[in-house]
Structure 1
Amino acid sequence: MMGFELPAYLSDYKLLKHIGNIKFGQVYSAIHSPTKITCAIHIIHFRDCRHKDNGDLLKELDLLVQFNSPFISTIYDYFVDDEKACIVTELCENGTLKDFLSLTQKISEKQASVFVFEILTALFELKTNNIIHRDLKLDNIKLNSNGHIRLYDFGLARFTQNPSDDMKKTFCGTPVYVSPELVARQDYSEKTDIWSLGVILYTMLYGNYPFYTENLKDLFKQITKNEPFLSDLVVSHKANDLIQKMLTKDQEKRINLEDIFDHDFLVINDPLSYRSYPRDYGMWMNRELLMQNLCCDMVTLHAETTVLTNIPTQHLQNLLKINKINGATACYKIQRDNLMKMKMSINFGNIGNDYQSIPLMACSISLYRERAEKICDNERKPGKRKLYIKNASSSIIRTRKASALPHKRINRGSVGETF
C-alpha cells in the first residue's frame, strides 16, 4: 500500500515507491506515463506546516519555475490545494552532496572542482535573476545519477532588488554555513552565498567544517574572529588560496563569482580543464543552449512532445517562453532533461569515471561561445577567441581521510547544523 493517491491533475504519473522523507512530507518515485521516465514527487502536508511555511513553499515554486540552469532543480509540474502540495521534479538517485561525502570519507580535488564549478554556475543564474539563496549547504545540493549537482531548497531565497531593511539584516540559514555579516546582522549580498560555498569547499577537501563547536555562541565567535585551519600538506596551495579568499571576513574584500571562475583551482591537474571556459561561461550555461551545444536535435524533441501531448509545436514553444507549468511543458522538460543527462555523461564525464571527459566539453563550450558571440554581436569584429589554457602542476596532493585531520568530522544533526 502506498498510503497516498495523487490528485487527478497529476494523472500522467504513477507512484512507484516511497524513497524518503522531507520536512512536512514524503518523497516518492513515480513513472511519467507518456515518456516512461522516472521522476520524484514531493508530497507536503500543510496540516504540519505553519502559515509562514506555506508562503515560503509557494514563493519557492515561483522562483524555481523561472530558472534555466542545468544545475538547479527543475519543477516539472505541481499541484497545490488547501491540504497539500505535490511537486514533480527530477529524480536524483545519489542523494545529497552530504550523503556522498559521508560515504566516500574523502574527495579528490578534481571532483571538488567539478562540484564547485557547477554550484558557481547555479549561483550565477541566481545572481542574473537578482536572487540570494541564503541557505547554501551540502544538504541542499543533490546529485543525479551521473553525479552532477542540482541546487534546491529555495525557501529562504530573497530578491536583492529593492529589499526591505528587515530582509537585508534578517538572520537565517544554517549556523555552520552562515557568513560573518549574517551573524552581525549587517546588510548582505550574494557574497554571503560565496562564503557558504567556501565552507562547502573546505568541508569537501578537509573532511570537516572550518568553524565548529556544539555551543552556538562560541560558533558565531569563531566565524567572526577566527581563521580556518589551512595546510598545504593536506590540500594544494591553489585550493587553500581559493578557500581563504572565499572565507574572507569582510564581504567587500571577499572574492566574487566571476573571479572564482578565473581562479587557478579550477585548472586542477589538467592543461585542458576549466581555463578553457570563457570567464562569462555561466551566462551561456542554460538548458536550451547546452542542449544545442551537445548536438541535440531540438526540433525532434519538440516534435516528440507534440505527438505525446497533441499540442502544436508553436503553441508548446509559446508556453515554454512564458514558463507555463502544465502537462505539455512537463512532458517536454522531462524528455529534455533526460536527454541532457545522457549527453552530459558522455561530454562531461560522470562520478564513476572521475569526470574524465571534462576537457573535451570545455573546448567544445569555448568554441560554441565564440560562435554565439559572433551571432549576438554583429558590431564586434570577427576573430579567433583566445582560450585561456594553462598547464597545471602534476604534484597536486590528494586529501587525507577526515580521521587524519585535527578537527572533528561532520556530525549529522548537530546544533551547528540546525536551529
Structure 2
Amino acid sequence: MNQLVNNNPTTDQGAIQAAFPGEYKNFAPIGRGSYAKVYRAETENGELVAIKVIDLKNMQKEIIPYMQNEMKLLSESDNKNVIKLFKSNQTNEKLILVLEYCQIDVEFMVKRYFKGKLSDDLVITILRQLANGLSYLHRNKIIHRDLKLENFAVQLTQEDQDALQNRNDLTVFDKATYKLIDLGLAKKLGDLQAQTSTWAGTELNMAPEILNEQKYSFQADMYSLGVCLYYMLVGKYPYFDPTNRTPLQDLIKKENVDLNHIANLQLRSLIQKMLKFDPKQRLTFQELYQHEFFKYREGDLANPIDLELNQNQGIYSQRLDESVLEQNPIKRQSEIFQQENESKSQIQQVMNTEQQQQFNDFINNPKIQEKNQEFQTPEVKNMFPTSKFDPQKKQNDQIMQLYHIRNQYIAILKLAEYLEQIIPLVKNSKLDFLTMAQKFNMYIEYLRMVSKQLYLKLQQRFIFFQQSLGPYDRFQLLQKQVKQEDQPKLEKVYVREGDSSGMISWFKKSVFKQIQCEPHDSANFNQQYQQNNIELYKELLKMLQDSFYKYTDDSDPKIKRIKCLIYLSMINTARSRVLFQVELQNTDYKAEELLLTKARDEPDILSEKVTAILAQYNLQYI
C-alpha cells in the first residue's frame, strides 16, 4: 500500500519521486502551511534534507511572485549562514524545493528552551553568524528586508540533536549553525549606490525609513538586526505600545528604548547604535565588523566562521558607506572615531569607579531578579488556586469590548470606501460587466448600514460603561475618537431593516435575492454578515483573476491601481470577517491601516498581506 502511495504522482511523495527518481527516502512530515507541506527526507548517502512541496493548483496567484523571487535568490546562494536550495522542480500542480535541513528556528528556540530570553554569549554567537550571512547577501547587492527570529533557522548535528532531546543539553546551541531563511521579500539592487522605496517586511521589525515610505538601502537590515538582538536579550520588542495609543513611528523616533535589561555594556551600546532613527547616524556594517565581537584572533581556528568574518570586512568599503549614508567620508570617519572614543571612555569610567559595584548590586538585587522572571515559567505552588476578583482586569476587558466593536465597523467602512473607488476605475475597462456597478453599490449600501448599527451598539455600550470606566483616559480617548472621526461618516446613514432586495432581486445567486439588514442584537445579524462577506470576497477574487488573464502588461498604472484596490478590499473583507468570528480582537488598527496605506501602490506587498490573514485565521472562501 505504501509503495502505491509513493508512486502515485498526485501525492506529495509520489510527486517527489517522479521529479527525483530514487534520490530520496524515509519521508516524514515536519510542517505545513496554507499551500505547502514540508517533509524531512534522507538522500542515498543518509544525509537529511527538507523538501517543501507547494500546491500550485490551489494557490492564489498573488503568492507566486514571492516564490519565484525566493527560488532565484536561494539557487544563487553559497554561504554557510544562508539556507541552501539544492534542487527544484515545477509541474502544473506542484512546486518542489529541496532545501538544507534545519531542526527549528530561533523564535521557537527562545520560547521553548530558554523561557523567553537568551544569554549574552549565545546572542553574540548568533550575531556573528547572522552578520556573516548578511555580508554575503550584501556582497551580492541583496537586502533581506524581513529579518526576524522566525527567519533565523537553527541547524544541529545529529549528535547535538540527540544530546538536546535525551539530556536537554542547551550547550548544543553554542555550537549550532544559524542560517538566514525566507528570502521572499529580499530585493537585489542594481549596484551599491542603488536604493529602493518598496514597503516590505514585518512592521515591528521594520526600519523607520521603510515605515515612513522613504528611500532606503542596506542600513534597513541593520535596524531590523538590532530589533532581533534586543528581543533575544530582553524577551520583547524595543518599541511597542499595547494600548494602541502611540503610533509605532512616534515611539521609534523618540529613541527612548529601555536598555537597562541588557547587562552586557558592549551589547547595550551596540544595540543603541543599531536602533538609531536616522540611518545616517545608525551603526554601519563596516563599523559592526570593527567591533570587538568580530575581531579575528590569529591562530585560533576553533570556529571556522572567524576566517569568513575576517574576509567579509572587505565588502563594506568606504564606497558602500558613502552610498548608504550620503556623507562626507572624512567627516564620517571623524564621527566614527569620536563615537568609539566616547563609548570606550564611558565603559572605562563605569568599570573603574564605584558605579560598577552599584551596577552589580542593582543587577543582583533580589527584587530586580524577581522582576526579571516575567518571561520565565512560574513555579506552580497551588494546583487549585482561589480565584480573586481583579477590578483592573475587568476594566481592561470592558475597554477591549468597546475597541472590538469599533474595529469591526472601521474595517467595514474602509471596505465600503475601497469598493466605491473601484467602480469608476473598472467601468469601461476589460474587467467591467453588466451588473458590476449595481452589485458593488448594493454592497456599499449594505456595509454602511451594518457599520451604522455597530456604531449605535457602541454608543449604547458607552452609556452602560460610563459609571465604571468614565474616569479612565482610554475610555475618554475612545469616546473622543468616535465622536470626531466616526460620527461624521455615519450620522447620515439610514438603516433599512428587513427586505431590501429591490433592483437586485433578479440576481442568480440566492444570497442576493433577499439581503436584509437585521438589528445588531438579532440572532441572524452575524450569520448574515458572514454569508455576504464570503460572496463579496468571491466577487473580488474573480475580478482579480480576470485582471491577470485580461491584462498581461502590469506596467499600466490604471490596472496596477485597480489591483491594489482589489487587494485592499480583500484584506478588509477578511479582516472584518475575523472580527465577527473572534471575540475581543483589540488589534493595533492604526498600525495596520498605516501599513496598508504605505503599500497602497504595491500589489505584491498587499497580496502577501491577504495571504497572511487567510493563513493566520485559517479563513476559507470556497
TM-score, scaled to structure 1:
0.64
Quick one: which amino acid aligns to residue 109 of structure 2? Answer: F
Q: 1:133 aligns with which of 144, 150, 159?
A: 144
Count of aligned residue pairs for this structure pair: 303
d(CA) in 2 for partners of 1:123, 1:367: 11
d(CA) in 2 for partners of 1:128, 1:181: 22
Aligned equivalent of 1:148: 177
In structure 2, runs of 5+ residues without a counterpart are: 6-10, 158-175, 312-343, 378-586, 593-611, 614-622
Residues 174-200 of structure 1: per-residue CA shift (max 9 Å, x gap): 111001101110001011011000001
Aligned equivalent of 2:296: 276
Deviates more, 1:2-11 or 1:76-85: 2-11
Quick one: which amino acid aligns to residue 133 of structure 1? Answer: H
Asked if the contact 2:226–2:275 (Cα under 8 Å) also holds between the matched residues in 1, the reply is yes
- CA distance 1:41–1:212, shift in 2 (3 Å): same
Asked if the contact 2:262–2:268 (Cα under 8 Å) also holds between the matched residues in 1, the reply is no
Q: Runs in 1 of length 4+ with deviation above 6 angstroms?
A: 366-369, 395-403, 405-409, 414-419
Aligned equivalent of 2:538: none
Q: Does 1:173 align with 2:183?
A: no
Matches of residues 161-240 of structure 1 in structure 2 within 5 Å? 161=190, 168-214=196-242, 215=244, 218-231=247-260, 234-240=262-268
Q: 1:141, CA displacement in angstroms?
A: 0.8
Aligned equivalent of 2:518: none
Higher-helix-fraction structure: 2
Quick one: which amino acid aligns to residue 237 of structure 1? Answer: L
Aligned equivalent of 1:332: none
- CA distance 1:365–1:179, shift in 2 (3 Å): closer
Asked if the contact 1:208–1:408 (Cα under 8 Å) also holds between the matched residues in 2, the reply is no
Q: 1:16, CA displacement in angstroms?
A: 1.6
- CA distance 1:23–1:258, shift in 2 (3 Å): farther
d(CA) in 1 for partners of 2:276, 2:263: 19
Q: 2:48 aligns with which of 26, 38, 42?
A: 38
Asked if the contact 2:219–2:282 (Cα under 8 Å) also holds between the matched residues in 1, the reply is yes
Q: Does 1:361 align with 2:282?
A: no
Q: 1:406, CA displacement in angstroms?
A: 8.3
Aligned equivalent of 1:313: none
Q: Is the partner of 2:204 in helix, strand or coil? A: helix
- CA distance 1:170–1:79, shift in 2 (3 Å): same
Aligned equivalent of 1:404: 372
Asked if the contact 1:14–1:32 (Cα under 8 Å) also holds between the matched residues in 2, the reply is yes
Q: Does 1:78 align with 2:98?
A: no
CA RMSD of aligned residues (A): 3.8
Q: 1:58, CA displacement in angstroms?
A: 1.4
Q: 1:66, CA displacement in angstroms?
A: 1.3
Q: Does 1:18 align with 2:29?
A: yes
Q: Does 1:263 align with 2:291?
A: yes
Q: 1:367, CA displacement in angstroms?
A: 13
- CA distance 1:363–1:172, shift in 2 (3 Å): closer
d(CA) in 1 for partners of 2:309, 2:291: 21
Q: 1:112, CA displacement in angstroms?
A: 0.4
Q: Does 1:102 align with 2:131?
A: no
Q: Does 1:158 align with 2:187?
A: yes
Quick one: which amino acid aligns to residue 240 of structure 1? Answer: R
d(CA) in 2 for partners of 1:366, 1:157: 22
Asked if the contact 1:207–1:402 (Cα under 8 Å) also holds between the matched residues in 2, the reply is no
Q: 1:227, CA displacement in angstroms?
A: 2.4
Residues 354-387 of structure 1: per-residue CA shift (max 9 Å, x gap): xxxx873369739997xxxxxxxxxxxxxxxxxx
Quick one: which amino acid aligns to residue 41 of structure 1? Answer: I
Q: 1:172, CA displacement in angstroms?
A: 1.6
Q: Is the partner of 1:149 in helix, strand or coil? A: strand
d(CA) in 1 for partners of 2:248, 2:256: 12
Q: 2:68 aligns with which of 54, 58, 61?
A: 58
Aligned equivalent of 1:354: none
Asked if the contact 1:205–1:235 (Cα under 8 Å) also holds between the matched residues in 2, the reply is no
TM-score, scaled to structure 2:
0.44
Aligned equivalent of 1:319: none
Q: 1:80, CA displacement in angstroms?
A: 1.2
Matches of residues 361-400 of structure 1 in structure 2 within 5 Å? 361=303, 365=307
Quick one: which amino acid aligns to residue 275 of structure 1? Answer: K
- CA distance 1:363–1:404, shift in 2 (3 Å): closer
d(CA) in 2 for partners of 1:19, 1:112: 27
Asked if the contact 1:179–1:223 (Cα under 8 Å) also holds between the matched residues in 2, the reply is no
Residues 259-303 of structure 1: per-residue CA shift (max 9 Å, x gap): 112223x1xxxxxxx42259xxxxxxxxxxxxxx9xxxxxxxxxx
d(CA) in 1 for partners of 2:369, 2:208: 29
- CA distance 1:407–1:368, shift in 2 (3 Å): closer
Quick one: which amino acid aligns to residue 228 of structure 2? Answer: I
Q: Is the partner of 1:47 in helix, strand or coil? A: coil
- CA distance 1:403–1:136, shift in 2 (3 Å): farther
Structure with bigger RCO (C-alpha 8 Å, 6+ apart)? 1
Aligned equivalent of 2:125: 114
In structure 1, runs of 5+ residues without a counterpart are: 267-273, 279-292, 294-357, 370-389
d(CA) in 1 for partners of 2:59, 2:245: 26
d(CA) in 2 for partners of 1:195, 1:402: 31
Quick one: which amino acid aligns to residue 263 of structure 1? Answer: H
Q: Is the partner of 1:120 in helix, strand or coil? A: helix
- CA distance 1:235–1:153, shift in 2 (3 Å): same
d(CA) in 2 for partners of 1:119, 1:151: 7
Q: 1:69, CA displacement in angstroms?
A: 1.1
Residues 121-176 of structure 1: per-residue CA shift (max 9 Å, x gap): 1110111111111111101110001521111101111122279x9x8222221111
d(CA) in 2 for partners of 1:250, 1:116: 22
d(CA) in 2 for partners of 1:216, 1:187: 27
Deviates more, 1:189-198 or 1:101-110: 101-110
Asked if the contact 2:255–2:275 (Cα under 8 Å) also holds between the matched residues in 1, the reply is no
Q: Does 1:252 align with 2:280?
A: yes
Q: 1:70, CA displacement in angstroms?
A: 0.3
d(CA) in 2 for partners of 1:217, 1:47: 43
Quick one: which amino acid aligns to residue 156 of structure 1? Answer: L
Quick one: which amino acid aligns to residue 70 of structure 2? Answer: E
Quick one: which amino acid aligns to residue 77 of structure 2? Answer: F
d(CA) in 2 for partners of 1:277, 1:170: 40
Residues 64-117 of structure 1: per-residue CA shift (max 9 Å, x gap): 111211000000111112222111111111x11000110212211111011111
Q: Is the partner of 2:41 in helix, strand or coil? A: strand
Residues 341-364 of structure 1: per-residue CA shift (max 9 Å, x gap): xxxxxxxxxxxxxxxxx8733697
Quick one: which amino acid aligns to residue 264 of structure 2? Answer: S
